[in-house]
Amino acid sequence: MYILLLAAASVRGQREAVVVPVGPKNRTEAERQCVRQRLEAIVDSSGGGRLSGRPVYALSNESWVASATQTYGVVQQQNFTYFGYHTSPWRSFAGQRSGVSKPAFVRWLADSKYVAAWHIEEDVFFTGRWRDLFASAPPGADLVARFSIVNGTWNPSPGMVKQRRLKCRIGSKKCTSGLVTRTAWSVLRMTRRFAKRLAEAFDANAAEGYHEALTAQFCYSLGDSDCKWADLPESAIGTLGFGGERLCERVPASMANEKGWRRRPKDTEYTLDFAATLGGKLVAGKKLYHPVKCAADAKLGALARGMAQGHNSMEMSTPRQDMLVGALEGFLEDLPSS
């Protein structure tokens, strides 16, 4: 078991890390195993392991994330309960469902010795080798993610009371007037120099805001010489939902009630096939799908490990998925190649 504190989370010569926040949810043992397998799938195909050039870390306070055979590290998530946190700009950066994982990631990266780090939410599924996605990040970009332009009156969490965290301010200027560049944090790469500038701004009360609203706006405010951003390649995106996105508008009509309203899907419904239908179609190769939940299908972990090893050269039909899962559960013996 490797429980790594921040001070010990870097090794000389390492340049880029991968961080996967894992939150405190009530999970069955099958779901927990699925999450651990999905972490291992990133290690399998990231181009690095725990002590290599691209180490993978789970950002979590959950003891079950660690195991005797893991090849990823575990970084304790800072809980940000220091005096004044609830009225500080750090609090505004947090999320409804993700809690303080975004502020914790920024603080961790700002204080680390890594040049950059990927933030991958645990319910992101990639039908390919992760290193291919990581290699697609444009060199020199301080921020790589999926972006969209929205009106500044956009509410990231429909139905919720608008709270302090929904504000967006840089210095004394609001950044929610006019059009706003929204940043998807499900798959994101950030450089340490950008994280340091953001952390310094929070500490000095010079910026605040919900993470999807503030991140790109803060990058703009630094100017091209101090912050460059780039989109994830469109060819890699199958379904990549923003946090709080109204996915209910894209679910099948069969989920509509008598008034025609389509409800938000439950975690237990977000299978890989279902997430793919929200974006169009499940395809073979290098595609990102989000959200895809272990609560919906505990066999996703084994499937992720199979795909990480390159077994994704054909349309991923249900029989094909079952073949991959069965092979992985048999210790990867005789995995079919076609």
| pLDDT at 29 (0 to 100) | 95
Residues whose CB falls within 8 Å of the CB of residue 338, separated by 6 or more in sequence, listed in order: 313, 314
Query: Which amino acid is it at 36?
Result: R
Dist. CA 260–CA 265, nearest whole Å: 15
Contact 57, 20 (CB under 8 A): yes
What stretch of H or E contains 319?
helix 318-329
Dist. CA 194–CA 125, nearest whole Å: 26
| pLDDT at 316 (0 to 100) | 46
Which residues in the chain show pLDDT less than 50? 1-13, 50-51, 83, 158-165, 244, 313-316, 319, 323-325, 327-338
| pLDDT at 77 (0 to 100) | 79
pLDDT in tens, 57-114: 999 989 999 888 888 999 887 655 554 566 688 888 887 666 788 999 999 999 998 9
| pLDDT at 334 (0 to 100) | 40
Distances (CA, A) of 57 to 20, 29, 43, 133, 216: 6, 21, 9, 17, 25
Domain segments of the chain: what residues? 3-233, 247-319
| pLDDT at 27 (0 to 100) | 92
Which residue matches tokens 């397998």?
Answer: 37
- CATH architecture under which domain 3-233 falls: Alpha-Beta Complex (3.90)
| pLDDT at 158 (0 to 100) | 47
| pLDDT at 3 (0 to 100) | 44
| pLDDT at 98 (0 to 100) | 67
What stretch of H or E contains 217?
helix 211-222
